């Protein structure tokens, strides 16, 4: 199926920078992008994107509260191997748990947990601004060129600790090593904001639209 014919679902659950992500997808070459909370549409989409801005627990509650949403995601992403992209908190929700403002369960698609940065007088929290992306050479997605080395824009106060090193496909540095991207099979998550990352972000989204896991 060509990119022109694909139905791309950008999930609206009240917790994402939807307008900017929508515009970035259009700039990257997407033709049919639907901003939606309709579980039936999402279940039938060819690609699914979950943005996220805010606290882990609030985002999780909002997503899980939409009637039929989790079943639709499980059916399409886990059952149907539809390409999936989580952005910022959308990536963090892939984890088993998050501890922002209490302990919360995530989707559990990528084993790990989301925790606060270690306290430090030398770094600013939240982590905000441009940072270099450094690839893990051992992950097939890196080898296929889905992510390239470069600089991307970050804005987050919590970080994803993956339990399995093979699920980490890129890292950055902010007071220590920070996971910049995780991936498993047809599931991809990025801590940075492609929609704020100018040429790097548009190029990344263009590659995601062409990705055939």
The set of residues, in sequence order, having a beta carbon less than 8 Å from that of 103 and lying 6+ positions away, is 97
DSSP state of 142: H
Find the mean pLDDT for residues 101-112: 95
What's phi and psi for 19, nearest 5 deg?
Answer: -60, -45
User: pLDDT tens, 48-99?
Assistant: 999 999 999 999 999 999 999 999 999 999 999 999 999 999 999 999 999 9
Give the per-residue pLDDT at 182. Answer: 95
Neighbour-count burial for 108-138, b at 16+ CB within 10 Å, e otherwise = ebbebbbbebeeeeeeeeebeeebebebbee
Q: What's the predicted TM-score (pTM) here?
A: 0.94
Average of per-residue pLDDT across 170-189: 94
Q: Where are the domains of the chain?
A: 3-210
CB of 120 within 8 A of CB of 127?
no
Q: What CATH number should be reported for the domain whose range is 3-210?
A: 3.40.50.880
Mean pLDDT of 151-176: 94
For position 4, what pLDDT does the model report? 65
Residue % of the chain over a pLDDT of 70: 93
Catalytic residues: 88, 193, 195
Per-residue pLDDT, averaged over 109-127, amounts to 90
Residues 192, 150 contacting (CB under 8 angstroms): no
Mean pLDDT of 25-49: 96
Residue 117 has pLDDT above 70, yes or no: yes
pLDDT given at position 180: 96
What is the pLDDT at residue 101?
86
């Amino acid at each position: 199926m060509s990119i022109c014919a694909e139905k791309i679902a950008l999930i609206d659950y009240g917790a994402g920078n939807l307008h900017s992500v929508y515009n970035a997808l259009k700039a990257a070459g997407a033709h049919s992008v639907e901003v939606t909370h309709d579980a039936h549409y999402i279940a039938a989409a060819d690609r699914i994107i979950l943005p996220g801005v805010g606290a882990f627990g609030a985002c999780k509650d909002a997503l899980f509260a939409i009637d039929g949403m989790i079943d639709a995601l499980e059916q399409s992403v886990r059952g149907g191997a539809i390409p999936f992209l989580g952005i910022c908190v959308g990536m963090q929700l892939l984890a088993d748990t998050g501890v922002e403002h209490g302990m919360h369960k995530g989707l559990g698609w990528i084993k790990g947990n989301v925790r606060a940065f270690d306290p430090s007088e030398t770094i600013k929290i939240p982590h905000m601004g441009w940072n270099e992306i450094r690839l893990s050479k051992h992950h097939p997605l890196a080898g296929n060129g889905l992510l390239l080395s470069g600089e991307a824009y970050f804005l987050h106060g919590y970080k994803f600790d993956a339990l399995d090193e093979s699920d980490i496909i890129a890292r950055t540095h902010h007071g220590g090593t920070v996971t910049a991207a995780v991936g498993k099979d047809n599931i991809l998550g990025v801590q940075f904001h492609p929609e704020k990352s100018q040429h790097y972000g548009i190029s990344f989204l263009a590659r995601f639209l062409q990705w055939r896991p």
